[in-house]
Chains A and B, each alone.
Chain A
Amino acid sequence: MINYFKEIAVGFYSLLAGMAVTIRYFVKPIVTVQYPRQQLTMSPRYRGHIELLIDPETGTHRCIACEMCARICPSQLIQVEGVKLEPKKKVPLKYVIEYYYCSLCGLCLESCPTNALQWSKEYLLANFHREDSVYDILVRLQEQQRAAGLPVTPIPEPPTEEQLAEMAAKEAQLAEAKAKAAAKKAAAAEAPAAEAPAAEAPAAEAPAAEAKPAEAPAAEAKPAEAPAEEVKE
């Protein structure tokens, strides 16, 4: 008899406890996002596709078109082409990712020497065609700059032969000056030290510096070739 009433009491209490849970949820704010009209803000750790980071100091990207990202990418989905229109300042003229190959490993971000890349917060990444998943992140950067009211970074044209030649000449001049400076420095170092092994070291350095300008034009020639390749595809 006691058990009978105890069972009823316990059962009734458990029902009330259940109702307390549902009413607590009833008054909680809803979590649904009315999708086309509202969108989620993604968490800082969210990984969309990669994009160029806007440097808060300069208002533009930091990419130096070194192609480290393109080289380390296990899926080889990054295409970077750079051009050097001013000495010591190489800028990308093309940065395209074929996102459908991306495994989000993040090696590109890690390998970037200037930390120019970041994960975008883009999550609407479903497309009807494979070609729609190819993102030009230089264009994307321009859009972001426009949205933020910053001056838009122009995308340089592929350089002409003349420009390349001009650049090569400039580079050569610069290298020469550098070599001279190095030689001077070496001479200055040589005089006080006056020891044979020490003298040898700067001398070995100088030819290396001279060899650089010779290489540079070859590297510059590459971008000019690349557009031609694209046409072939």
Chain B
Amino acid sequence: MELLAQFLGIEGARMIVGLIAVIALVSVNALFLIWMERKVAAHMQLRPGPMEVGPHGAIQTVADALKLMGKELITPDEVDKPIFWLAPIVVFLPVLLSFLVVPFSQSWIIRDMNVGIVLILAFSTLSVLAILMAGWASNNKYAVLGAIRSVAQNIAYEIPLLITVMSIILMVGSFKLSDIVAAQSQYWYVLLQPLAFIIYITCATAETNRAPFDLPEAESELVAGFHTEYSGMRFALFFLAEYTNMFIASAIATVLFLGGWHGPFLPGVIWFLLKVYALIFLMMWFRWTFPRVRFDQLITFAWKILIPLAFANLLITALVLKLR
């Protein structure tokens, strides 16, 4: 660390160490989340889930990942090759970059930018571009349909998401994630903005393409949606991006509504991770409770209910702040 600091300066060393930590966190998180999802799904259906590899199937995902690494990377003849190859990288980079500004605790931030929340929202939209690239380049009707759905869905859900985030920003007066968390040292914003929290969670579920909004990859309708033609490690990258996206979305929700690292007794990082995984559990819980919505229902829900409610919430927030 000190040697690195000599060469690159404090900030540079922080970046390098942070990047290594983030890559480790991303892989461990994905391995854990896939296992957790299978366990949650199983227990909701009175099954035990994976039990064979490791205690309670704990390293089942490691075995699966090893298998995926050993698989052939198939590139079909008719695909648009450069875009086809680029899409898995493009889907993975923004989620990696989002970790730059996530405040795990007071001091555990790689780079505490003053536009933190904007950066995350901007990059998370990039993954939709990657999905569009993957679907279009695959030259497959199911993949294209999945990609089209993803784009339409994203346009519908970015708006209420941004508006709810806006109402929190109005209250704090800063885009800096550490400022937002620091402002919640007394009480969490979920108490002041319950409606915004509900809208945010709904939009985050749609944003991460999770059930009941998993239309882009609806396996019963579109084979596997946008990643139908992908195999091996390229498919694994999409998978990794999906689960890391869940983590990022839950981390933002924790920062905006659940008071980030604040909490008694335990250190800040533990509190942060506890809240994040509780929110991820909530999203898994959604997945195994709600059936997938039809496409027109999804758009109607976004434009007719979520956006008006989010606007009303923003207006009321602004009014209360002005009158106070």
A interface residues with partner B (beta carbon < 8 Å): 8, 15, 18-19, 21-23, 25-32, 34
| Residues of chain A lying within 8 A (CB to CB) of residue B191 | none
Q: Report the Cα distance A30→B42, complex, angstroms.
A: 9
Q: Which of A19, A28, A30 contacts B285 (CB 8 A)?
A: A19
Kindly state the interface size class of chain B when it binds its partner.
Answer: 10 to 19
A19 touches B40 (CB 8 A): no
C-beta contact mask, B45-62 vs A, less than 8 Å → 1, else 0? 111100100000000000
| Residues of chain A lying within 8 A (CB to CB) of residue B46 | 25, 28-32
A30 touches B289 (CB 8 A): no
Q: Report the Cα distance A18→B44, complex, angstroms.
A: 12
B interface residues with partner A (beta carbon < 8 Å): 40, 42-48, 51, 285-286, 288-290, 305, 309
Q: Report the Cα distance A19→B46, complex, angstroms.
A: 15
| Residues of chain A lying within 8 A (CB to CB) of residue B43 | 25-27, 30
Residue of B nearest to A23 (CB): B285
| Residues of chain A lying within 8 A (CB to CB) of residue B305 | 8
Q: Report the Cα distance A31→B286, complex, angstroms.
A: 23
- B285 vs chain A, min Cβ distance (A): 6
A32 touches B48 (CB 8 A): yes
Q: Report the Cα distance A26→B282, complex, angstroms.
A: 12
| Residues of chain A lying within 8 A (CB to CB) of residue B289 | 15, 18-19, 21-22
**Contact flag A25-B51 (CB < 8 Å), given A15-B290, A18-B289, A19-B289:** no
In this complex, the member of B42, B43, B289 whose beta carbon has the largest number of chain A beta carbons within 10 angstroms is: B289
**Contact flag A34-B51 (CB < 8 Å), given A18-B290, A22-B285, A22-B288:** yes
8 new A-B contacts, CB < 8 A, other than A18-B289, A18-B290, A28-B46, are: A22-B285, A25-B43, A25-B45, A25-B46, A26-B40, A27-B43, A31-B46, A32-B47
**Contact flag A30-B48 (CB < 8 Å), given A22-B285, A23-B285:** yes
Q: Report the Cα distance A72→B17, complex, angstroms.
A: 83
| Residues of chain A lying within 8 A (CB to CB) of residue B285 | 19, 22-23, 26
Q: Which of A15, A26, A32, A34 contacts B44 (CB 8 A)?
A: A26
| Residues of chain B lying within 8 A (CB to CB) of residue A22 | 44, 285, 288-289
- B219 vs chain A, min Cβ distance (A): 20
- A11 vs chain B, min Cβ distance (A): 8
| Residues of chain A lying within 8 A (CB to CB) of residue B47 | 30-32
- B299 vs chain A, min Cβ distance (A): 16
A25 touches B48 (CB 8 A): no
Question: What are 5 A-B contacts defined by CB distance under 8 Å?
Answer: A25-B44, A25-B46, A26-B40, A30-B42, A32-B47
Q: Report the Cα distance A26→B40, complex, angstroms.
A: 7
| Residues of chain B lying within 8 A (CB to CB) of residue A26 | 40, 43-44, 285
The 5 A-B residue pairs with the shortest CB-CB distance in the complex, in nearest-first order = A22-B289, A18-B289, A31-B46, A26-B44, A30-B48
Residue of B nearest to A18 (CB): B289
- A232 vs chain B, min Cβ distance (A): 51
| Residues of chain B lying within 8 A (CB to CB) of residue A31 | 46-47
| Residues of chain A lying within 8 A (CB to CB) of residue B45 | 25
| Residues of chain A lying within 8 A (CB to CB) of residue B290 | 15, 18
| Residues of chain B lying within 8 A (CB to CB) of residue A18 | 289-290
- A121 vs chain B, min Cβ distance (A): 24
Residue of A nearest to B282 (CB): A19
Q: Report the Cα distance A19→B205, complex, angstroms.
A: 15
Q: Report the Cα distance A32→B289, complex, angstroms.
A: 21
- B228 vs chain A, min Cβ distance (A): 29
Q: Report the Cα distance A23→B45, complex, angstroms.
A: 10
Residue of B nearest to A7 (CB): B305
Residue of A nearest to B286 (CB): A19
Q: Report the Cα distance A25→B47, complex, angstroms.
A: 10
| Residues of chain B lying within 8 A (CB to CB) of residue A27 | 43
- A10 vs chain B, min Cβ distance (A): 12
| Residues of chain A lying within 8 A (CB to CB) of residue B286 | 19
- A27 vs chain B, min Cβ distance (A): 8
Q: Report the Cα distance A8→B199, complex, angstroms.
A: 12
Q: Report the Cα distance A25→B42, complex, angstroms.
A: 10
- A17 vs chain B, min Cβ distance (A): 10
| Residues of chain B lying within 8 A (CB to CB) of residue A21 | 289
- A5 vs chain B, min Cβ distance (A): 10
